[in-house]
Structure 1
Amino acid sequence: MLTVEGLEAAYGDSRILFGIDLHVKDGEVVTLLGRNGMGKTTTIKSIFGMLKPRGGRVAVDGTDLTGAEPHKIALAGLGLVPEGRQIFPTLNVEENLRATARPGKWDLAGIYGLFPRLKERRRNMGNQLSGGEQQMLAIGRALMTNPRLMVLDEATEGLAPLIRADIWACLTKLKAEGEAILVIDKNVDALTKFADRHVVIEKGRVVWTGSTAEILATPDVKDRFLHV
């Protein structure tokens, strides 16, 4: 579904990505792992056209979308839950959800069924929500685009343990329903409970890739590339 080959990116004269390769198949959950500052968010920005790649290729179902405008990436079937949530603070919950809605499986009823707390808070403005509620809203907003691939940048960063558990349960349910997911998060133990494959990057390069069984059988991967 998503294919990234040889992706290169820079901010001005500072090169950040040096040939990133990754792919996500329909219905597959893939993680993008690495310490802070290693290029994970830059990879996501480059995939979504928010940062124009310096080289390489981004394709969806074989269609080259390298450097395309973000709205074209969204129309191709990719939905983003960005780092920092970035919900619309002066719109209420329901307005945030409707703002990105496209026809398909996911509608307001479906989002409220997934996150009942959002239904309770549907008239509250975005800036009146807790961090956990904002993350639920960011996920719901992405789902309302009815994407074929959900991309989450820092899925549970800064959230309380109970809210984190809710987010993991949500992603597990989405996988069971056939949603393809690309997720960045630091909680490797939680990710290995439902992800299929893992891509580890270090200083803008892929240094390891493998299945959940392989990463569990290779504990030195976490020691070498993921621990602070």
Structure 2
Amino acid sequence: MLDVSGLEAGYGESQILFGIDLHVQAGEVVTLLGRNGMGKTTTIKSIFGLVKPRAGRIMIGGKDLTGVEPHRIAMAGLGYVPEGRQIFPTLNVEENLRATARPGKWTIARIYDLFPRLEERRRNMGDQLSGGEQQMLAIGRALMINPQLVVLDEATEGLAPLIRADIWACLKRLKDEGEAILVIDKNVDALTRIADHHVVIEKGCVVWSGTTREILATPEVKDRFLHV
């Protein structure tokens, strides 16, 4: 589904990524872990063409899409839930969902089934929603692309505990329905309950990768690379 090999990228004269390898198979949930500033978001932005890679290859569905325009990445089947949500503030909930809609199994009715709160707020503008509602909308908007892979950057950052629980329940449901997911979040305990594989980044390099069973069996990984 997604195969990233030897990815290097940066901003101006600063290099941030040094040979990132990352793979997500169909129906698999993979996490991208690491402390703040270690290159996680730059990795995601490079995959989506928002940062031009300096080296390496990004394969999506068997096609080489390294450094192509972001709209072509979306058309190739990647849905993006960015850090900070970035919904359209002057469109209402339903207009936000329709803005990215492509034919497929994910419809507005199914999004409302996944997030009933959005149906209640369907006529509210994006900037009238709470942070949790905005995150639900951002996930729904990504799903309306009917993607092969959903990518979430900081899935639950800044959300209240009850809303976080709703987001984790949503991701568990998506996994159960066979959706492929790549997720960044700081809540390792929650991630290990839904993810199949984990990739840890330190200073722009992959320093560890393994299954959920392996990361639970090696607590030193969290102590060394994930604790502040």
Q: TM-score w.r.t. structure 2 length? A: 1.00
Deviation of 1:10 (Å):
1.0
The alignment-based identity, stated in percent, is 83
Is 1:81 aligned to residue 81 of structure 2?
yes
Alpha-carbon distance in 2 for matches of 1:204, 1:139:
27
Name the amino acid aligned to 1:71. Answer: H
Match of 1:26 in 2: 26
Residue 62 of structure 1 deviates from its aligned partner by: 1.8
**Structure-1 residue corresponding to 2:101:** 101
1:112 has 2:112 as partner: yes
Alignment partner, residue 202 of structure 2: 202
Letter paired with 2:160: A
1:158: how far off? Answer: 0.2
Distance 2:50 2:17 in 1: 15
SS in 2 for 1:88: coil
1:28-77 per-residue CA deviation (whole Å, 9 max, x = no partner) reads 00000000000000000000000000000000122100001001001111
SS in 1 for 2:102: coil
Q: Deviations over 1:176-220 (max 9, x none)?
A: 000000000000000000100000000000000000000000000
Q: Deviations over 1:113-149 (max 9, x none)?
A: 0000000000000000000000000000000000010
- Distance in 1 (alpha carbons) for counterparts of 2:136 and 2:42: 23
Aligned residues: 228
**Normalising to structure 1: TM-score of the pair?**
1.00
Mapped to 1, the partners of 2:39 and 2:162 lie a distance apart of 29
Q: What is the identity, as a one-letter code, of the residue corresponding to 2:26?
A: D
Point out where structure 2 has 5 or more consecutive residues left out of the alignment. Answer: none
Paired AA for residue 159 in structure 2: L
Q: How does 1:29-178 map to 2 (within 5 A)?
A: 29-178=29-178
| SS of match in other structure, 2:151 | strand
SS at match of 1:35: coil
- Residue ranges of structure 1 left out of the alignment (5+ in a row): none
Residue of structure 2 in register with 1:14 after alignment: 14
For 1:186-197, what aligned pairs fall within 5 Å after superposition?
Answer: 186-197=186-197
